[in-house]
């Protein structure tokens, strides 16, 4: 009977010891999760995330600023290229206009001398009717040539409507080139008409083309050079 009592007492003591150890372990676990360090863990994570987001936003802002700066620089270069091409066009146009006007001046001077000759021959009773008709035609063509040269002189380099913003070929010279060709062809046409009139005048004067007529036509031909 005493032995059984001792066994029961030993078992009870052992059970109490196990229960005490379990309670102690549970208390330690609870303390670790409710410690100040554990309480502030979510706040630290949030702060770290906030810092990461701030750095990312700052980086994105710098990238956007670089892109904007690059775009502005590219547009500035395009504007400079367009201005340069327009300046080059202005110089070339003025040079061509000067050459065309020189040719017109030569033809006008030749026409003046030829008409003075025609007037003298008409006063002298020569038949200059055919030459007069040709001189009238030449005069019309010469006036048209003057108008075409003036039209070309007024041409400006324009922007190409269909050109993309990133293109460097924004200057359209199609119309100025067409105007220059028209003016040049008009001068050639006036020269040929004046040449025919001078030849007719030479024949009316009784001279062969190898004399006065050839001199006049060679002068007219020289205006095309």
Tell me what the pLDDT averaged over the chain comes to.
77
- For residues 39-43, average pLDDT: 66
Q: Does domain 93-222 have CATH number 1.20.58?
A: no
Residue 33 has pLDDT above 50, yes or no: no
Q: Where are the domains of the chain?
A: 93-222
- Per-residue pLDDT tens digits for 86-131: 888 888 889 999 999 999 999 999 999 999 999 999 999 999 999 9
pLDDT band of 6, cuts 50, 70, 90:
low
The model's confidence at residue 17, banded by pLDDT at 50, 70 and 90, is low
What pLDDT, on the 0 to 100 scale, is given for residue 83? 79
Answer with the residue of higher pLDDT: 70 or 124: 124
pLDDT-based confidence at residue 60 (cuts at 50, 70, 90): confident
Instruction: Give 218's pLDDT tier (boundaries 50, 70, 90).
Output: low
85 vs 93 pLDDT, higher one: 93
Three-state secondary structure string covering the chain = CHHHHHHHHHHHHHHHHHHHHHHHHHHHHHHHHCCHHHHCHHHHHHHHHHHHHHHHHHHHHHHHHHHHHHHHHHHHHHHHHHHHHHHHHHHHHHHHHHHHHHHHHHHHHHHHHHHHHHHHHHHCCCCCHHHHHHHHHHHHHHHHHHHHHHHHHCCCCEECCCCCCCCCCCEECHHHHHHHHHHHHHHHHHHHHHHHHHHHHHHHCCCCHHHHHHHHHHHHHHCCC
Lowest mean pLDDT among 54-58, 115-119, 127-131, 184-188: 54-58
Percent of the chain at pLDDT exceeding 70: 67
Taking the model in full, what pTM does it have? 0.58
């Amino acid at each position: 009977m005493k032995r059984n009592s001792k066994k029961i007492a030993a078992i009870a003591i052992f059970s109490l010891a196990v229960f005490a150890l379990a309670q102690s372990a549970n208390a330690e676990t609870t303390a670790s999760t409710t410690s100040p360090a554990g309480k502030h863990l979510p706040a630290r994570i949030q702060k770290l995330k906030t810092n990461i987001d701030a750095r990312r936003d700052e980086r994105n802002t710098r990238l956007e600023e670089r892109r904007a700066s690059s775009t502005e620089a590219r547009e500035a270069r395009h504007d400079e290229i367009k201005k340069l091409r327009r300046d080059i066009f202005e110089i070339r146009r003025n040079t061509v206009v000067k050459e065309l006007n020189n040719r017109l001046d030569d033809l006008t001077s030749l026409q003046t001398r030829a008409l003075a000759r025609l007037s003298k021959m008409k006063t002298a009773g020569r038949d200059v009717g055919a030459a007069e008709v040709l001189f009238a035609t030449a005069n019309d063509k010469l006036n048209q040539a003057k108008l075409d040269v003036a039209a070309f002189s007024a041409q400006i380099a324009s922007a190409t409507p269909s050109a993309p913003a990133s293109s460097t070929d924004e200057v359209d010279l199609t119309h100025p080139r067409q105007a220059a060709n028209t003016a040049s062809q008009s001068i050639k046409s006036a020269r040929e008409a004046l040449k025919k009139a001078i030849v007719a005048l030479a024949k009316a004067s009784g001279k062969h083309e190898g004399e006065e007529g050839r001199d006049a036509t060679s002068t007219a031909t020289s205006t095309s050079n």
